[in-house]
Amino acid sequence: MTKTVEEQAVDKLNHVQSGGVQKEAVKRPPRVKNAKYAMLLGYQGKKYFGMQLQKDLPTIESKLLEAMEKAGWITPAQRDKPFDFFFQRAARTDRAVSAVRQMCGMQLPRDDAKYQTEGAGILNDLLPADIRVFGMRRTTNFFHPQKQCDYRTYSYTCPSFVFAKPTELTNASYRISPETLAEVNDILSIYKGTHNFFNYTAKRAYDDMSSNRYIVSFECKKPFLFRDEFRNEDVEFVQITVKGQSFVLHQIRKMVGMVICVVRELHLKSAIQRSFEGQRMDIPMAPGLGLLLEQTHYDSYDRKNSKSHEPLSDWGEMIEKEVQRTKFELITKDTLEMELLSQGMLKWLADLVHHDFTCNPEAEEPEKKTFVTMAAACASKAAKEQAAVGEGSEEAPEVAPSTSEDAKPVEEAAPVPEEAPKVEEKAAASA
């Protein structure tokens, strides 16, 4: 028997149990469980201001997040603040730098079948043609693509004539000899191991521990020919690959620039070892067109989670074929054609002969003031005053006001001549 609205209201008012009104259970929507996923993607970066999200600038992440929002995977708020769904990337590629196997991590509503089977196709339909997603895989809940990346491999592709000797012509007809190729690899091997690369980046001091980087391998592969359709000739290119734990800003391009200078006999081979030492050196930076992020390595993660999750360093033969096809058609071919059209490397080499490796001392950063240096300055000033008093009269001379910052603590701490030795003793104890 169906009750009227009035009867239902009376029942609710009179629904008393154990002396209290029983409240109806509030129906809540089912809780959505989240899971962590890894995304493998590649892109041609010449139109973008790097990988990481930047306000009012086109970046790889901005396009990727827009596509994920259109697909209904994230909300507009998450698009503006990607950290809300734990979005991270393995490497922050710079402006115009491309990548073959970039890795991203994110937390999404758990749906392995949708993301792993259809995820790449859904996003590729919404992304620009120069950004391609190759696949997605479920990861551990604490996966971090940047922190758990063991190594990163980059490549730098350039015409082989960059290694021409002073007695050889630097043009498209140049062909690198086996002897020169062996010399290049010998010079590249100097960079292997742990070194201080403060001279290969910007705004880092020699004593900054973050300037130390570890390089596993650095080699130049065999040359290959690429047809210049405009000039109707074959041009020889070489590819330099470097594998390391991580790299500081401009490090790879400056290492390549330094090696080119040494091979072309514009600088001594011993200068590379000196560049790891404390003296500041102005190292030329090679053009950024040929730089490419080849792969991010997760060997430790794969070994640790081999029984529970799929590997992230090996995505299978089918995806690898798609990666290689996209690499040539989207990145490598475009890079080589752009180099032949712009002749950027030839222009850079023309200015390289005028490069000065020495730094302007006036442009160096001022020495940091410490208690020891300030105390030593006070002691030195006091000693000079004492000597002047001894030679002249018994009265202490007036000290002229100084405009230098280093002299300010000296004026305030200028002692009476008889107390000068104490200042010297304090400075020595502090040192």
Question: Which whole number is the average pLDDT over 152-168?
Answer: 95
Does residue 366 have a pLDDT over 50? no
Rounded Cα gap, residues 375 and 428, in angstroms: 9
Rounded Cα gap, residues 20 and 38, in angstroms: 52
**Position 348 confidence tier, pLDDT thresholds 50, 70, 90:** very high
348 φ/ψ angles, rounded to the nearest 5 degrees:
-65, -40
- By C-alpha distance, which of 358, 381, 169, 397 is closest to 280? 358
Residues near 195 by beta carbon (within 8 Å), at least 6 away in sequence: 212, 213, 215, 276
Report CA dihedral (413, 418, 420, 425) to the nearest 10 degrees: -120
Does residue 127 have a pLDDT over 90? yes
Report which DSSP code applies to 145. Answer: T
**Binding annotation for substrate:** 154
Classify strands 212-220 and 34-43 as parallel, antiparallel or unpaired.
unpaired
- DSSP secondary structure, 78-96, as one string: HHH-GGGGT-EES----TT
Q: Cite the beta strand spans of 75-171 per DSSP E.
A: 88-89, 98-109, 131-138, 151-159
Query: What is the structure's pLDDT at 82?
Result: 92
Q: Could you say which architecture CATH assigns to the domain 34-138?
A: 2-Layer Sandwich (3.30)
Rounded Cα gap, residues 299 and 304, in angstroms: 9
Tens-digit pLDDT profile for residues 78-108: 999 999 999 999 998 888 889 999 999 999 9
Element (H, E) at 299: helix 299-304
Residues near 69 by beta carbon (within 8 Å), at least 6 away in sequence: 75, 76, 78, 79
Tens-digit pLDDT profile for residues 4-50: 766 666 666 666 555 555 556 666 767 778 999 999 999 999 899 98
Query: What is 151-360's CATH number?
Result: 3.30.70.660
- By C-alpha distance, which of 70, 56, 52, 53 is closest to 128? 70
Classify strands 131-138 and 233-244 as parallel, antiparallel or unpaired.
unpaired
How many CB atoms lie under 10 A from the CB of residue 157?
Answer: 21
Rounded Cα gap, residues 361 and 376, in angstroms: 23
Does residue 300 have a pLDDT over 80? yes
How many CB atoms lie under 10 A from the CB of residue 256?
Answer: 24
Does residue 425 have a pLDDT over 70? no
* Verdict on whether the full-model pTM lies above 0.85: no
Per-domain boundaries in the chain = 34-138, 151-360, 371-430
Q: Is 348 helix (H, G, I), strand (E, B) or coil?
A: helix
Q: Report yes or no: 120 and 135 within 8 Å, Cβ to Cβ.
A: yes
Q: Which residue, chain included where needed, has tokens 């469980």?
A: 33
Angle between helix 333-342 and 344-352 (nearest 10): 50
Tens-digit pLDDT profile for residues 240-277: 999 999 999 899 999 999 999 999 999 999 999 999 99
- By C-alpha distance, which of 35, 46, 50, 49 is closest to 102? 50
**Position 430 confidence tier, pLDDT thresholds 50, 70, 90:** very low
Q: How many residues does the chain have?
A: 431
Element (H, E) at 273: helix 270-275
Rounded Cα gap, residues 43 and 102, in angstroms: 8
**Binding annotation:** 154
What residues does 271 pair with on adjacent strands?
A: none
* 282 catalytic per annotation: no
Rounded Cα gap, residues 1 and 175, in angstroms: 96
Q: Cite the beta strand spans of 204-358 per DSSP E.
A: 212-220, 224-228, 233-244, 291-297
Rounded Cα gap, residues 291 and 94, in angstroms: 10
Percent of the chain with pLDDT over 70: 79
Domains 34-138 and 151-360 share a fold: yes
Given the residues 11, 84, 94, 234, select the one marked as catalytic: 94
Classify strands 193-196 and 212-220 as parallel, antiparallel or unpaired.
antiparallel
